[in-house]
């Protein structure tokens, strides 16, 4: 009888140890997935911004028109982000007028002048750009 009670105590201790280890692994995995979500958010910001950062510097008029198209597409696709403005213009009609003012053979200087600074889903996204004739 004494051996049977010791065996039950040992079995209970083993089950308790397994439960504690499983709980530790679960907590570790939860913490790791939270960290991975921050990395994913940073990757999303970089991927979004790279579309516009590729145009930074000196470009020709055809590339400037492509930039305006990219901004217009972004503004339509991501309305919750807010409008990206080019030279202070963000609505489709103003951007279309801006696009038509670029000459294909002229050179333009593109600068990103604003990023989303508010905390939240879109922090760090491009919000404003300037395109100036060179």
What residue ranges do the domains of the chain occupy? 2-133
Q: What is the pTM of this model?
A: 0.68
Predicted confidence pLDDT, tens digits, the chain (134 residues): 788 889 999 999 999 999 999 999 998 888 776 654 455 577 888 888 999 999 999 999 999 999 999 999 999 988 777 789 999 998 989 999 999 999 999 999 999 999 988 877 778 899 999 999 98
Q: CA 126: distance to chain centroid?
A: 10
Q: CA nearest 84: which of 53, 120, 119, 41?
A: 53
Q: Is 82 left (phi over 0), alpha (psi -120 to 50) or beta?
A: left
């Amino acid at each position: 009888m004494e051996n049977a009670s010791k065996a039950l105590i040992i079995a209970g201790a083993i089950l308790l140890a397994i439960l504690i280890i499983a709980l530790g692994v679960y907590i570790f995995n939860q913490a790791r997935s939270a960290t991975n979500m921050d990395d994913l958010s940073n990757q999303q910001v970089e991927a979004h911004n790279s579309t516009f950062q590729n145009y930074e510097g000196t470009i020709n008029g055809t590339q400037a028109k492509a930039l305006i198209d990219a901004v217009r597409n972004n503004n339509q696709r991501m309305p919750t982000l807010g409008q990206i403005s080019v030279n202070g213009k963000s609505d489709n009609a103003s951007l279309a007028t801006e696009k038509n003012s670029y000459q294909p053979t002229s050179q333009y200087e593109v600068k990103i002048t604003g990023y989303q600074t508010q905390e939240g889903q879109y922090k760090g996204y491009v919000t404003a750009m300037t395109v100036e004739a060179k």
